[in-house]
Amino acid sequence: MNKGNTTISILALAVSLVTMILLLYMLFGQNGSSSGNDYSTLKSLAGELADNNLYQAAIDEYKTVLDNPGLENETRANINYMIGRIYFDNLADYENAAACYIRARRLNPEGSFYDEAGRKLIACLEKMGRILDAKRELDKTVNIDSIYTEHEGETVIAKIGDKPVFMSDIEENIQNLPPQMQEKFLSRESKLEALNGYIGVELIYRAAVREGYISNPEIVKLSERITKQAVVDSYLQEKVMKNVTIDDNDLHNYYLANKDDKYNGKEFEDVNEQVYRDYQAEKTRQAFQDYVNKLAAVENVQIFEEKIN
């Protein structure tokens, strides 16, 4: 009887212990899970603090998230990158910024921030006066093999670090100048001058990119406008301009219709070049408008003129 009671007591105790363990697991396990995954509020708060120029408070909030031992490496890397940006952009604390960028890149080499963090790391090292370290990091970012493949058989006339500068780079810059200016770069001395100018611009551009100027909102907007205009010009040339033809009879009829108003009654032979330019411009405008109208019909464009003051 006593033996049976003892067995029952042992079983009851075991059940109680198991129950207690489960309860503790549920209590602390859930809390741990919450602290491991519920970091979005803290991240949002840190972002709000940074937006209000409370940079050290934002960093402290981010570090609270990092204190969670269950945080995934991807998230930990992202937060280190954000802390690094605050140190770099807002506090000019380049040593701490560099440390954060190194952590971020090591924790998540596949992160979308990886290249940007590398550029900022180089800028940090340069600002700290650690030029050799900056050069070492910069060398890591240059893929020499791909550069030489693109310019196979060409002449290397300079190097910026390990990045080669080819004669074709300089010639392309010269060819983009107006014809009268291209004539000034035919001699060896003028080409050397063009090379020095190219290197100077490249060095400044690379330093600016490393410091994040390429992400400046105004520069991004300007870049978008320039790109849009270039794309539109190319598209119009292919789709519209090539279809604009000038018929001699139509050209003469255009002249007759505008002889007095535009050309002061002058004979066609005296103003034929001006007539040609005007008629070509008129045809181009009409072709452009016709094409736009066709696209507008497809995309169901609506204009609310009454709302324009």
Instruction: Provide the pLDDT confidence category of residue 8 given band limits of 50, 70 and 90.
Output: low
pLDDT tens-digit series, residues 248-267:
888 888 889 998 888 888 88
Report the interhelical angle of 73-85 vs 114-127 (nearest 10°). Answer: 40
Name the average pLDDT for the chain: 81
Average pLDDT over residues 194-212: 88
pLDDT value, residue 145: 57
DSSP string covering 146-190: HHHHHTTTPPEEEEETTEEEEHHHHHHHHHTS-HHHHGGG-SHHH
The yes-or-no verdict on residue 153 having pLDDT over 60 is yes
Q: Can you tell me whether residue 70 is helix, strand or coil? A: coil
The yes-or-no verdict on residue 51 having pLDDT over 70 is yes
pLDDT value, residue 33: 40
The yes-or-no verdict on residue 152 having pLDDT over 80 is no
Confirm if 123 and 207 have CB atoms less than 8 A apart.
yes
The fold adopted by the segment(s) 40-141 is 1.25.40
Q: Which residue has the tokens 């301009």?
A: 241
Instruction: Provide the pLDDT confidence category of residue 37 given band limits of 50, 70 and 90.
Output: very low
pLDDT tens-digit series, residues 219-237:
888 988 999 999 998 988 8
Please list, residue by residue across 35-60, b when 16 or more beta carbons sit within 10 angstroms of its beta carbon and e when fewer do: beeebeebbebbeebbeeeebeebbe
Query: Which is more confident, 74 or 177?
Result: 74
Confirm if 120 and 114 have CB atoms less than 8 A apart.
no
Average pLDDT over residues 34-52: 70
- Going by C-beta distance under 8 Å and a sequence separation of 6 or more, which residues neighbour residue 282? 254
Instruction: Provide the pLDDT confidence category of residue 97 given band limits of 50, 70 and 90.
Output: very high
Instruction: Provide the pLDDT confidence category of residue 83 given band limits of 50, 70 and 90.
Output: very high
The yes-or-no verdict on residue 18 having pLDDT over 60 is no
The yes-or-no verdict on residue 193 having pLDDT over 50 is yes
pLDDT value, residue 27: 44
pLDDT value, residue 104: 92
Query: Which is more confident, 257 or 17?
Result: 257
pLDDT value, residue 11: 52
What distances in angstroms separate CA 249 from CA 203, 256, 274, 279, 287, one per listed residue?
57, 11, 16, 12, 19
Instruction: Provide the pLDDT confidence category of residue 31 given band limits of 50, 70 and 90.
Output: very low
According to DSSP, residue 241 is labeled G
pLDDT tens-digit series, residues 155-173:
888 988 778 888 888 888 8
pLDDT value, residue 39: 67
Query: Which is more confident, 45 or 7?
Result: 45
The yes-or-no verdict on residue 81 having pLDDT over 90 is yes
